C-alpha cells in the first residue's frame, strides 16, 4: 500500500466535483470533494468514496457476526458484537424451543460466544440477532480473537480461497465474523498456527503474492 494514496480527513480528493457524486467517507464543499475519514479514495463511475483503513464495525442486516453474551434479560440475551451498538438475541430467535419461565442461562450464559446473524438494524441502531440459520451456533471450544473488521474480506480471499487454505492446512474449523471476530477450533498446535496465519493475512493484506506466503508459513 503506497502511503501517498492515503488521504486524511479534510484533504482534497477531487478539485472539480461538477460531475461527481460524493459516496461514503467524503463530502462536497464549494464544488470540491474532501475526505472525512482516513483511507484510500476510490472512484466507481461518477461516485467517489473512501475505503477506510480503520474503524468500528457497523452492523448490516444479513451479516454473520460472532458475539459474546453480556447480559440475560426477560426477552432474551444481550450480546456484544464488537461494534458501538449492543444487540439483542430475542428468545424466539434461539434455535431450540425455550419455555416461558425457563432459566435462560441453561441455553446461553454470560461470557458464552455465539455465531449469529444480524436480523435487523433499526434507524436508531438497535440491533436484533437471530440464530435460526444453519451457520449459527454456540461456540463452546476453541479460541476467539479480533482482527480489523475492514480486513475480513482479505482473510476470506477470492471466492473463499484464503480461508479454505488455512482450514485445510491446519484441520481447524474457522468462523470469520463480519465484525472482525474470529473463532478457531482444532488441536492446540494447529489452532495456534491457524490464528497466526489469520493475523498474518490481516497484517500483510496489501502485499502481492500473499497466498504463496501464507502457504509457505502454514507448511513451515
d(CA 115, CA 166): 20
Assess 113 for contact with another protein (CB under 8 A): yes
Grid coordinates of 132: 435460526
Nearer to another protein, 70 or 92 (CB): 70
Q: What separation in angstroms does the CA of 121 have from each of 61, 80, 135?
A: 6, 15, 20
Within 201-220, which residues bind another protein (CB under 8 A)?
Answer: 203
Instruction: Provide, rounded to whole angstroms, the least separation between the CB of residue 100 and another protein.
Output: 26
Strand partners, 50: 41
C-alpha neighbours within 13 Å on the C-beta side of residue 205:
16
Instruction: Provide, rounded to whole angstroms, the least separation between the CB of residue 159 and another protein.
Output: 26
Within 15-44, which residues bind another protein (CB under 8 A)?
Answer: 25, 27, 34, 36-39
Q: Give the distance, in angstroms, between the CA of residue 168 and the centroid of all CA atoms in the same chain.
A: 22
d(CA 139, CA 77): 15
Within 50-89, which residues bind another protein (CB under 8 A)?
Answer: 52-56, 68, 84-86
Instruction: Provide, rounded to whole angstroms, the least separation between the CB of residue 1 and another protein.
Output: 6
Footprint on this chain of another protein (rule: CB under 8 A): 1, 3-4, 6, 8-11, 25, 27, 34, 36-39, 52-56, 68, 84-86, 111, 113, 124-125, 140-146, 188-189, 191-192, 195-196, 203
Amino acid at each position: 500500500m503506497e502511503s501517498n494514496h492515503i488521504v486524511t480527513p479534510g484533504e482534497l480528493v477531487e478539485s472539480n466535483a461538477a460531475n461527481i457524486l460524493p459516496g461514503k467517507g467524503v463530502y462536497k464543499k464549494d464544488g470540491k470533494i474532501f475526505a472525512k475519514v482516513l483511507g484510500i479514495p476510490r472512484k466507481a463511475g461518477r461516485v467517489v468514496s473512501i475505503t477506510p483503513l480503520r474503524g468500528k464495525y457497523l452492523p448490516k442486516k444479513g451479516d454473520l457476526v460472532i458475539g459474546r453474551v453480556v447480559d440475560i434479560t426477560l426477552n432474551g440475551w444481550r450480546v456484544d458484537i464488537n461494534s458501538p451498538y449492543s444487540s439483542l438475541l430475542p428468545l424466539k430467535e434461539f434455535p431450540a424451543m425455550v419455555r416461558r419461565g425457563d432459566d435462560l442461562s441453561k441455553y446461553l450464559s454470560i461470557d458464552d460466544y455465539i455465531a449469529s446473524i444480524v436480523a435487523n438494524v433499526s434507524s436508531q441502531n438497535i440491533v436484533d440477532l437471530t440464530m435460526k440459520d444453519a451457520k449459527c451456533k454456540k461456540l463452546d471450544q476453541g479460541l476467539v480473537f479480533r482482527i480489523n473488521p475492514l480486513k475480513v474480506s482479505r482473510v476470506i480471499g477470492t471466492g473463499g480461497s484464503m480461508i479454505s487454505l488455512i482450514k485445510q492446512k491446519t484441520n481447524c474449523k474457522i468462523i470469520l465474523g463480519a465484525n472482525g471476530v474470529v473463532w478457531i477450533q482444532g488441536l492446540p498446535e494447529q489452532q495456534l498456527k491457524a490464528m497466526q496465519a489469520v493475523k498474518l493475512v490481516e497484517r500483510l493484506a496489501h502485499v502481492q503474492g500473499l497466498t504463496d506466503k501464507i502457504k509457505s508459513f502454514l507448511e513451515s
